[in-house]
Amino acid sequence: MMKKENQFFLLLFFIIILSVPAYWLIRGKPTTQVSIVEGRVLGLPEKSYPTLKIAMEYVRQGKPELAAVLVWDLFTGGSLQRKFDGAATDQFPFRVPLIMFSKAVDRQIINLSYLVTDDEIIPADMTSDIYIIPDKEALIDSPSRLKTDSFEVIDERLKNYQEITSAYPDINFYIYYLETLEFSKFNPLNKHFAQADKGQSFDYFQSNLPNQINLGALSLTGLDDHLVNYYRTDHHWNTRGILEGYNGIYGMLSKNYANIPKKLTPSAMITFPGIEFLGTLARKTLSPIRGDTFTGFEAAFPTCVVRDQGIEGDYDYGDEYLAGDYSTTPYTSHYEYYFGNQTGLLEYDCETTTNRNILIIGDSYTRPLVALIATQYRHTYYIDFRQDKEFTLSNFLKGHHVEDILIAGGPNVVFMDTNYWMLKP
């Protein structure tokens, strides 16, 4: 009897395993390789093994010995197994419904565990460091923890700032810091994490920042302030926060900028109907949370020519959104589409009343600011160091004259990361 049961389970196991390639054959080529729910490109088995294609070509040419060497190297190196495993996982039958089911089970276990507590904030799932505040219908990250070398990293960044300001004394340097909840003393989870940052790293940074650098910040005054300026389902700031940041930067720039062009003022705020924005926090947890409203604005922007790595184009979909041309599919990356992206050095050449130029350095938080700040300059340059790891200020300045340099973003961009965000002189 036991032997028959073992044979049954063994047969079931192989049926499940073989169902994947069978599913590939029956299904044919997927209509899309992009998983909107996961925000990534899926692996496809037919495009995952270029070495095998080369080996088959050797066989057709009558060179089986060369084909055997390629396949043997591929197998022993583990590349084939990794690619097959990735493709099998990405194309597994009913993969997304199974993921949804798994997350639902996670939530039920978490809810059951927290029934006996009075906690107002609970984990959103079992695999991330994201929490949910049910009463606020908001997802938040846990506090960032101070490490033993945290202040050493900040010191390294401070030294870097001192070097660049000394090397370029004729350029005005500005830093605009976005306080995020992970690094704030107002994170409601701080009491549960002994080494929570609680704003200590920024306090240390601003206390030791060289006087030559002008510092501004969009600071939090409490949890409600975070919920006003940032999305409930995404880590980015929303349009209200972005405009608040622009106002702060404008005031900071105007101190060293006589006759700065008039600040851009939105003529209307637009809430896009049909969109329930489910951002990265919602995507990572698949929490059944109400989506954010997604808001943009209309304003009298000057005429600008925009280039990405020298190629002229339209690198955001703001006009399309205002025209009603957008997707309402859940988990669509509306923040990226509406505010824009780029692949390298982004340039705005605008018809303004000034000949002044600026270089802006930052990440996805900074990207929405570029079009706004460009209204105060003739040439605006924007770089994300993650897209150009070889960027140096000296090489840039050989071909581009700027009076101002603005570094804007969260803790990593401003002071906590030395892998990507050190400004090489």
Q: Are the CB atoms for 173 and 212 separated by under 8 Å?
A: yes
Closest CA to 33 of 100, 91, 83: 91
* Neighbour tally for 47: CB within 10 Å: 12
Beta carbons of 343 and 309 less than 8 angstroms apart = yes
Model pLDDT, residue 84: 56
What pLDDT, on the 0 to 100 scale, is given for residue 100? Answer: 80
| Euclidean distance between CA atoms 263 and 373, whole angstroms | 9
- Give residue 39's pLDDT: 58
Q: Are 129 and 181 in contact (CB under 8 A)?
A: no
**How far is 423 from 425, CA to CA, in rounded Å?**
6
Tell me if residue 260 falls in helix, strand or coil: coil
pTM metric for this prediction: 0.83
The pLDDT averaged over each successive group of 10 residues in the chain (425 residues) is 60 60 55 55 54 69 74 59 57 68 88 90 94 96 94 97 96 98 97 96 97 97 97 98 98 96 96 97 94 96 97 95 94 95 97 97 98 98 96 96 98 96 94
Residue by residue, DSSP assigns 284-329 as: HHT--PPPBP-EEEE--PPPEEEEETTEE-----HHHHHTT-----
Phi-psi region of 328 (alpha: psi -120 to 50; beta: other; left: phi over 0): alpha
Angle, helix 50-60 to helix 79-90, in steps of 10 degrees: 120
pLDDT at residue number 352: 96
pLDDT for the residue 336: 95
